Amino acid sequence: MSDSVAVIGGGPAGLMAADILSAAGQRVVVYERMQSVGRKLLMAGRGGLNLTHSEPFERFVTRYRETAPQLEPILKAFTPDDLVGWANGLGAETFIGSSGRVFPKAMKASPLLRAMLGRLRDQGVEFQPSTQWTGWDEEGALTFASSPPQHHCAVLLALGGASWPKLGSDGGWRDILATRGVGLAPFKPSNVGFNVAWSEPMRRFAGEPLKNVAIRFGDEIVHGEMIVTDYGLEGGALYALSAPLRDAAPAQIEIDLRPRNTHADLEVKLADAKRGGSLASTLRKQLNLSPLAISLLRENGKPPTEPHALARLIKAVPLTLAAPRGLDRAISTAGGVRWDAVDATLQLRAIPNVYVAGEMLDWEAPTGGYLLQACFATGVWAARAILEQARALAAPGAR
């Protein structure tokens, strides 16, 4: 058997694992079914490459909702500060934006990816692009669609979820693992838009943003921005609630069009409006509401004109979200390899010496740096476990 480690998948988790392994002197082969690695990372970089977030760790870890207990030790072992230090070490200096998000100063992924690949090659990592993994043969060797089987001492699977098939993450690995007895959770769209039965006047605002609003769903309130589309809503504020909204759909949210103002503030401003003006004129002049926001107020019928009732509506515009958009329209996915299918080192219980990292695992998080942070951190965690296992086997007296 080869003493090299196979990393299958050249995304953030796989490349980070290859870095950790090769830096420790381990031979690594990265298999990637696309013609080049890092395609999803480059796509994420189109929006500035939000690497992580600078908020306190206690708040940071809660963004992972139900899977926070499983991810907390992994994130503590490779924190947002560690990720920033790693990026800075590659020459991709970072900065903290006004929202607390962390970006490389270049505001794109290509310089970071080039530096990372350069270091991996310097550390002896071998890349096998255009190589599709198909499973294992009867002797335990990895099999591929167009190349001979390969034996490795350990395997790290980092094949992503199912939300970006054109970039390589198509979830095609599910059947391979299911036949080997690996417990899997169904894929669900995450960080995804929702369909809304807009009136015709609202459809005319497709492509325009609702800025500086707050969304309330149950006990949760999220501040941010959304984009109106011809089919419904998209945007970061909505994505932060996409998990509970998806599971409850159809679901009703409330949109606060002026979260920085209290109900009393709005009521006073509306009461001070000149008499005789139209409602739209009053809302523009007194509250600086956009035409889009004014149209949204009319989605449930004619708005009240009495200041108290109108202020209450502005602070809580009801809106029903129908089904979420599909996997092919999602930024990320929930579902995948269940947590009870891996041990504490992220090794598959059903297949010894095979580890899993990144979005293949059943977790989800909102945009804002949380997705990449967990992908990188799980790659680090699994790589360190592989190294520890190799050291244990090499120790005197080990069988």
| Per-domain residue ranges of the chain | 5-189+326-394, 194-321
240 contact partners, CB below 8 Å, separation of at least 6: 222, 224, 366, 367, 368
First-residue to last-residue Cα distance in the chain? 15
pLDDT tens string for the chain (399 positions)? 579 999 999 999 999 999 999 999 999 999 999 999 999 899 888 878 999 999 999 999 999 999 999 999 999 999 999 999 999 999 999 999 989 999 999 999 999 999 999 999 999 999 999 999 999 999 999 999 989 999 999 999 999 999 888 888 899 999 999 999 999 999 999 999 999 999 999 999 999 999 999 999 999 999 999 999 999 999 999 999 999 999 999 999 999 999 999 999 999 999 988 777 789 999 999 999 999 999 999 998 999 999 999 999 999 999 999 999 999 889 999 999 999 999 999 999 999 999 999 999 999 999 999 999 999 999 999 999 999 999 888 777 665
DSSP string, 345-395: TSBBSSSTTEEE-GGGBS----SSSHHHHHHHHHHHHHHHHHHHHHHHHHS
Evaluate whether the domain defined by 5-189+326-394 bears CATH number 3.40.50.10740.
Answer: no
Residue 171: half-sphere exposure toward Cβ, Cα within 13 Å: 20
Strand partners, 165: none
**Separation of alpha carbons 75 and 69, rounded Å:** 10
What is the three-class DSSP state of 136?
Answer: strand
pTM for this entry: 0.94
Measured CA to CA in angstroms, residue 256 lies from 324, 342, 349, 369 at distances of 21, 42, 47, 25
The pair of structure tokens assigned to 322 is: 């129908």
